[in-house]
Amino acid sequence: MTHKDLLWKLAYLAISGGVFMIDQTTKAWAARSLRFNGDMPVISGFLNFAFAQNPGVAFSMFDQQGDSGRWGLSAVAMVAGILVLFFFWRTPRSDDRMLGSLALLLAGIVGNLTDRLRLGFVIDWIDVQFGGWHYPTFNIADCAICIGAGLLILDLFFSKKKEAEKAETRAAGSVPQ
């Protein structure tokens, strides 16, 4: 890895650290401002800021596992974070979409893991609803994970499409005319 490549990867990690800090800062704000003062309507009937404690994972799944669930989910998150870092360092500098998605995944994983280790639950505070539909309350780390996962899916789609185009070009070039 060249010096320039290392600097680019460190820049992605700095962005990941920035997203982590925004997540932790907004969760601290939610705990201070919303926990005891109640919900804060932002757009009536659509967006509220509401403090919620999530001891489980996405959509509060596995929230009845108690203290063993806390440590089990923390262990899973640590393994996921280590795997993301492993793939991050193995990804070529030229693959910006992959590096960006891994940086976002890392920020989200570490943000929610920090809450789980420190508090025993994850602080959620963004509450979206539309008529009778109500989306589970979430946070900035959850957004980073979803966006990172979405970028990974796009990367898989585009890399398969690019490989198919390369194979098609090779096949067309080897056909005698």
End-to-end CA distance of the chain: 43
% of the chain with per-residue pLDDT over 70: 87
Residue 170 — very low, low, confident or very high, per pLDDT cuts 50/70/90?
confident
Of residues 169 and 147, which shows the higher confidence score? 147
Predicted local confidence at residue 174, as pLDDT: 60
**pLDDT at 61 (0 to 100):** 53
- Contact call for residues 32 and 51 (beta carbons, < 8 A): no
Cα gap 107→12, rounded to integer Å? 11
Residue 143's nearest CA partner among 167, 109, 114, 175 is 109
Pairing of strands 133-134, 122-130: antiparallel
Average pLDDT over residues 14-35: 97
Whether 68 shows a pLDDT value over 70: the answer reads no
Per-residue pLDDT, averaged over 22-39, amounts to 95
* Mean pLDDT of the 14-38 span: 96
pLDDT value of residue 157? 85
CA angle (115 as vertex; 36, 29 as ends), nearest 5: 40
Structure confidence at residue 117 (pLDDT): 94
CA distance 12 to 174: 40
| Cα-to-chain-centroid distance, residue 8 | 20
Strand partners, 53: 123
pLDDT band at 64 (very low <50, low <70, confident <90, very high): low
Q: What is the pTM of this model?
A: 0.83
Q: What is the pLDDT of residues 45-62, one digit of tens each?
A: 899 999 999 987 665 555
Residues 30 and 52: beta-carbon distance below 8 Å = no
User: Is pLDDT at 177 greater than 60 in this prediction?
Assistant: no
Active site (catalytic) residues: 124, 142
Q: pLDDT digit string (tens) for 101-149?
A: 999 999 999 999 999 999 999 999 999 999 889 999 999 999 999 999 9
How far is 160 from 21, CA to CA, in rounded Å?
34
Q: Which amino acid is at 118?
A: R
